[in-house]
Amino acid sequence: MNRRMIFAVAILFFAATAWAQFINEHGPQLQPGKTAAVEFLAPDQVSVPAAKPTKVLLHFRVQPGLHINSHTPHDEFLIPTVFSIPDGKGVRLESVSYPPGRDFVLPADPTKKLNVYTGYFVLDALLVAAPGEHVVEAKLRFQACDQSQCMPPKTIPITVVVTGK
Amino acid sequence: MKRNTVVLGVTMALLALFAWAGWANWIWRQQRAEQLLANAAKATLVPDANGGSPHYDSPLQGKPAPSFALEDLSGHKVQLENFRGKAILLNFWATWCGPCRIETPWLVELRNQYAAQGFEVVGISTEGEDLKPDDKAGQARQHDAVKKFVEIMKVPYPMLLGGDVLAQTYGGLDSMPTSFYLDKNGVVVAVQLGITSKAEIEASILKAMGK
């Protein structure tokens, strides 16, 4: 009897857990998730001489049809593209060399020039790594638009394994 | 004794697992419900039945605009109901939005042109996920940026802050500019996502004014 009770309680627990995980798919369906405006392409890992400033090229791609502000947009209100590495991770970011943006106009006002990145672009980061392997969680902040509308500014994680030798 | 301890430990671990599963699932469901609510109100671009330009069809179209109370640049609470009796253009915009900067002078001109006929623009600054409600310094910087923008653009209409809280009821607001045109009874008669042209904005204003 006692064992039966324990068995029944266990069944009830598992049934409750299964129910808790049940997701109602009969409501309105979500639209497919949007692709991120900017994709980090490479490198996933890199080796650099320890304690010596070393240039590392970081490759990105802006999705077709979109543009993001360059590091030096023409307008003070626009959000520049900025790459950063948090302090204290064994890898220090000395400086970043950003590519020049290209001038770009929206069809709604051909007189107003924006300075943007489109397609493929590369940042040249000067890193100083302590000896050993470090998983660096860097960040890229940007703000993307298409020809008529803009998406909110976004910060994406950039994970690179940096080995100081 | 030892066996009892093991049974107790396993039971506690199972209970903790159930509790965690339930909590994680509850959070997930809440986020999903919020997403569904926002998507349910999201406007979509549809082709024109008569062969004209495509237009945005919103679930809010033909319905009363959701009410709100937001602060203006002076810190005063402003409600949508304050504008009842006027045709309204609710313009969700952001300081970082290039197309918003292009269309703002058009909105200023059209507002000045039609204000005497019972029309008003209500600007609502909507900055997105970067600016958290508890980020006081960020909110202050945002206030200053909007104020500067208003001064540079000589904006004569009310400018409200913190539009992100309206994202669910107004269809996500995941791109800027987004405009809702309300008639004198507060009913949504047109929705526009993104910048179009001054002429199209004027046509929607006239529609809101019943002309």
* % of residues, chain A, pLDDT over 90: 67
Per-residue confidence band for B14, with pLDDT thresholds at 50, 70 and 90: confident
> In this complex, is the C-beta atom of A19 within 8 Å of any C-beta atom belonging to chain B?
no
* % of residues, chain B, pLDDT over 70: 85
| Digit-coded pLDDT (tens) for B160-206 | 998 988 988 998 788 899 999 999 999 999 999 999 899 999 999 99
Q: SS3 for A129?
A: strand
| Digit-coded pLDDT (tens) for A93-138 | 999 999 999 999 988 888 888 999 999 999 999 999 999 999 999 9
Please state the separation of Cα B43 from the chain's center in Å: 12
Per-residue confidence band for A34, with pLDDT thresholds at 50, 70 and 90: low
Preceding peptide of B177 cis, ω within 30°:
yes
- Checking if the pLDDT of B36 tops 80, the result is no
Pairwise CA distance, residues A4 & A6, whole Å: 5
**pLDDT in the model for residue A24:** 42
Out of A117-121, B26-30, B110-114, B163-167, least confident range: B26-30
Pairwise CA distance, residues B124 & B179, whole Å: 10
- Given an 8 Å threshold on Cβ–Cβ distance, is B36 in contact with A112? no
User: Pick from A27, A149, A151: which is nearest to B36 by CB?
Assistant: A27
Out of A156-160, B38-42, B65-69, B98-102, least confident range: B38-42
Pairwise CA distance, residues B115 & B20, whole Å: 56
**Which A residues in the span 87-146 are in contact with B, Cβ-Cβ below 8 Å?**
106, 108-109, 112, 114, 143, 145-146
Taking contacts as CB-CB distances below 8 angstroms, the residues of chain A near B22 are 17, 20
